[in-house]
Amino acid sequence: MIEVEGLVKRFGAVEVLRGVDLSVGRGEVACLIGPSGSGKSTFLRCLNGLERFQGGRVAIGDAVLDAGQSPREHAKAARRACRRMGMVFQGFNLFVHQTVLQNVIEAPVHVLGMGRDEAVERARGLLDRVGMLHRLDARPRELSGGQQQRVAIARALAMGPEVMLFDEPTSALDPKMTAEVLGVMTDLARDGQTMIVVTHAMGFARKVATIVHVFGEGLIVESGPPDRIFDAPAHDATRSLLSEVQAA
């Protein structure tokens, strides 16, 4: 359902992505792992058009992002892509001037044109699912990081995305809050949600991923089911990454 071909991304002279190919099927949970700076977060941000890229192409259904597009075409295509994908950020990025409920109904009402009552009903269901129904009227600053991230997941789900993108969703959280958030994500995966997850949480990747892609220096160096990647890594980069994680 997502096809990425030859994705090249440069920041000035630095080539961050050097021709990445990837395909993600319906119901797949793809975990992207790799050392910091290997390009996996940038890759994720290219998928929904938050970053432009210099080579290659990304297709999600009829939304096609192409390196050759003009800024205007790219913005239009990115908007189409965003309608099909929800994104969860490392820093949560809840709208700080709105309550929990307002955050979740904002896009359904103002982007999809959904009626307010319907949007609220749906938001309550989603907030219940992430265990945040009791804080409907709280402002983001009144919530812990784990709570904010769970609301952010509900906000992204409210748009009914075909794919959920997670950009290191637990990197800013302590272990207890990390567990809360990973719990929610595990439930989502069990329900068949297609997900692409950039993460350092190897336990989660091992338990939940259907496929793991290992990034190294702007390329996917190795892909495979989690058991094979974690138990029998084929590539040096994977081995050194896993030994670092174990040492930590």
Partner 1 sequence: MLAGLLLAALAPPARADALDEVRARGALRYGSDMEGGGPYAFPDPDSPRSVAGFEVEIMDRLARELGAGVRAEFAQGQWDKLLWVLDSGRYDVVVNGYEWSPIRAEDYLATRPYYIYQLQLMGPKGTPARAWGDLKRPKPDGSPWTVAVLTASAADDFAHDENAGTTRVVRFDGATDAMMAVQNGQYDFTLQDGPAATYYGDEFPGLEAVGPPVSRGYYVVYARKSDPALRDALDAGIGRLAASGELRRILEKYGIWNDLQVGLATAFQGPIDAPPVRQADRGWKLVRHYGDRLRDAALVTLGLSFGAMPLAMAIGLAVALGRMYGPGPLRPALGAYVELIRGTPLMLQLYVLFFLLKLDPWVAGIAGLAINYSAYEAEIYRAGLQAVPRGQMEAALALGMSRSQALRRVIVPQAVRIVIPPVSNDFIALFKDTSVCSVVTLIELTKEYSILANSTRAVVEFATATAAIYLAMSLPLSWFARWSERRLGAEGAKGGLA
138 contacts partner 1 (rule: CB under 8 A): no
Q: Which is nearer to partner 1, 48 or 238 (CB)?
A: 48
Q: Does 111 bind partner 1 (CB under 8 A)?
A: yes
Nearer to partner 1, 112 or 179 (CB): 112
Q: Could you tell me which of 100, 186, 185 has the C-alpha nearest to residue 147?
A: 100
Contact flag: residue 219 with partner 1 (CB under 8 A): no
Write down the least CB distance from residue 193 to partner 1, Å: 16
Hey, what are 59's tokens? Answer: 């297709």
Binding-residue total with partner 1 (CB under 8 A): 34
Closest approach, Cβ 45 to partner 1, in A, equals: 8
Q: Residue 205's Cα: distance from chain center in Å?
A: 13
d(CA 141, CA 77): 33
Q: Does 96 bind partner 1 (CB under 8 A)?
A: yes
Which window, 31-39, 46-54, 130-138, 219-227, contacts partner 1 (CB under 8 A)? 46-54
Shortest separation between residue 79's beta carbon and partner 1, angstroms: 6
Identity of the residue, 65 or 229, whose beta carbon is nearer to partner 1 in the bound complex: 65
**Closest residue by Cα to residue 145 from 124, 122, 186, 174:** 174
Contacts (Cβ under 8 Å, ≥6 apart) of 14: none
Tracing tokens 């402002």 back to the chain, one arrives at: 139
Window of 42-50, 197-205, 220-228, 232-240 that interacts with partner 1 by CB under 8 A: 42-50
Contact call for residue 61 and partner 1 (CB under 8 A): no
Among the listed residues 12, 14, 36, 141, the single contact to partner 1 using CB under 8 A: 141
Burial 35-57 (b: 16+ CB within 10 A, else e): beebbbbbbbbbbbbbbebebbb
Amino acid found at 119: A
